[in-house]
Amino acid sequence: MGVFARVREDIAAARLRDPAARTAIEVGLLYPGMHAIWVHRISHRLWQSGMRFLPRALSQLSRGLTGIEIHPGARIGRRFFIDHGMGIVIGETAEIGDDVMLYHGVTLGGRTPDASGKRHPTLADGVVVGSGAKVLGPILVGRNTVVGANAVVTKDAPADSILVGVPARTRKRVGHDDFADLRLAPDYSI
């Protein structure tokens, strides 16, 4: 997928998930989450090519401008959306699937000072993480899972579940809790 097609896809995803997004121009120019993602894509490519200083410098510049810190080593899928992104931290070995949405104050962080191996979480496709939630360690949050606001997740979570509390407790979705279709609806919000 080309750069401009990817930018159009990002903007469409933001407009789909944010009822306050009025126009594509507004999203492209005024949404810091979009800017952080776009800078991350550049710094990630540089990181993958073996460079270290320049991608880290770009990520820190982006952090200063947007309030969103994404390590250049993190892997991020398509149609990723950050709503009100201030205070988001995404660690070096974090992996984010397609159609994932994060609200402000989310941390995808590590739990160990060991610098080798996988230290940060993996969010499968369709995950939504509420404001202030902390997802910590080399865990997997399954497909279409919703992490509630301010939850602290330190253990794997199955697909189609809801995580709430400190420490987070898992419960399966039932009937009216089925958000898989709702997250793509124009009026979707948590």
CATH of the domain at 128: 2.160.10.10
Report the length, in residues, of the chain. Answer: 190
Mean pLDDT of 97-120: 92
Classify residue 190: in a domain, yes or no: no
- The tokens 């073996």 sit on which residue? 50
Listed in sequence order, the residues at least 6 apart from 176 whose beta carbon sits closer than 8 Å to its beta carbon are: none
Instruction: For residue 172, report the phi and psi dihedrals to the nearest 5 degrees.
Output: -75, 150
SS3 per-residue string spanning 173-184: CCHHHCCCCHHH
Would you state the structure tokens that stand for residue 52, as one six-digit string?
């270290």
The parent domain of residue 96 ranges over 3-184
Q: Specify if 101 maps to a domain.
A: yes
Contact in structure between 97 and 125 (CB atoms under 8 Å)? yes
**C-alpha distances out from residue 23 to 11, 129, 130, 157, 176, Å:** 9, 25, 24, 36, 31
Would you say residue 46 lies in a domain? yes
What is the pLDDT, as a whole number, of residue 181? 54
Q: How many domains does the chain have?
A: 1
| 55 domain residue, yes or no | yes
HEC-encoded secondary structure of the chain: CCHHHHHHHHHHHHHHHCCCCCCHHHHHHHCHHHHHHHHHHHHHHHHHCCCCHHHHHHHHHHHHHHCEEECCCCEECCCCEEECCCCEEECCCCEECCCCEEECCCEEECCCCCCCCCCCCEECCCCEECCCCEEECCCEECCCCEECCCCEECCCECCCEEEECCCCEEEECCHHHCCCCHHHCCCCCC
pLDDT digits 0-9 by tens, 30-89: 999 999 999 999 999 999 999 999 999 999 999 999 999 999 999 999 999 999 889 999
pLDDT tens-digit readout, 149-190: 999 999 999 999 999 999 999 987 765 555 555 455 444 443
Single pTM value for the model: 0.88
Residue 189 in any domain: the answer is no
